[in-house]
Amino acid sequence: MAVVLDDVLSEAVVEAFDADGAVVLRQAFAREWIERLDRGVARNEAEPGPLAEDSAAGSDSGRFFNDYCNWRRIPEYRDFVEHSPAAAIAAGVMQSRTAQLFHEHLLIKEPGTAMRTPWHHDLPYYNVQGMQTVSIWLALDVVPRDCSPEFVAGSHRWGRLFYPRRFRNSANYPYLGAGFEPVPDIDAERDRYRILAWHLEPGDAVLFNFLTLHAAPGNNAPTRRRGFSTRWLGDDARYATRPGPTSPPYDDIGLAPGDRLPTDLFPVLWPRS
């Protein structure tokens, strides 16, 4: 194992992540990191990037703002990915010698936003393959259990790839062939699955594999639900092509399937330089 942070990341957490594909870390990030990201999020909302959108636009209520790939231009984000414990946590839970940043993603559901994030897993959206992957979804606000992201335990080991889905209307991306299949109707048969979710406090983080099926309810809480997600690649991650558009749009960066991702675009942040 690359690293175990005894005060945060135990052997039991690593084993649970390996078995279930999702695990919670309580108070993984100190208050100073939450305060720093608060400032970064305010900057991000005031100055959205080119990939920003309101996924709830046109719905009956609320706002679901999300934006990503801004860490180079928002100082607070850059400080977090380069100096917080995130990279070490990622390497440790992936059981990888290295942790390479793929991108960051801000997701905000305002109070009263009814829109549900549909069941999906992330790997088919991405130009990457590999089992050593992790998203660190960091809660910046109190997130009640009934507003929290949900995960199908063990789904990262099903050996299946599901069509990526648009958040706005749950429609499948136009991927043809290549072994993709429709996402199962998890909500229609919830008793068949072990579904994980947690009440979260600011500083708590949920770690999940890119292949783990997950979804999120609307936000019926009286406060915002802000999640700051950093996405990480381990030793076995390689470039992959997809039969349709990808998100982030890394389709044309001069790589062939099986290539390592270039460190000038995707820096290796663990071990520290």
67 neighbors 50 (Cβ within 8 angstroms): no
Distance CA(61)–CA(197), nearest Å, equals: 24
pLDDT digits (tens, 9 = 90+) for 141-186: 999 999 999 999 999 999 999 999 888 777 777 787 778 999 999 9
Q: Is 46 exposed, middle or buried (0-12, 13-18, 19+ CB in 10 A)?
A: exposed
214 neighbors 149 (Cβ within 8 angstroms): yes
pLDDT for the residue 6: 55
| Calculated CA dihedral for residues 150, 152, 157, 160, nearest 10 degrees | -90
Q: At what angle do helices 86-94 and 75-83 cross, to 10 degrees?
A: 50
**Sequence spans of domains, the chain:** 11-265
pLDDT digits (tens, 9 = 90+) for 40-53: 999 999 999 999 99
CATH architecture of 11-265: Sandwich (2.60)
**Type of residue numbered 73:** R
Phi and psi angles of residue 163, each rounded to the nearest 5 degrees, phi first? -55, 130
pLDDT for the residue 3: 44
pLDDT for the residue 5: 57
Q: What does pTM read for this prediction?
A: 0.95
pLDDT for the residue 247: 87
pLDDT along the chain (273 residues), means of 10: 58 97 97 98 98 85 94 98 97 97 98 94 96 98 97 98 85 79 95 98 98 97 96 97 88 90 97 85
Distance CA(273)–CA(271), nearest Å, equals: 6
**Is the four-CA dihedral 109, 124, 195, 182 of positive or negative sign?**
positive
Q: Left (φ > 0), alpha (ψ -120 to 50) or beta: where does 130 sit?
A: left
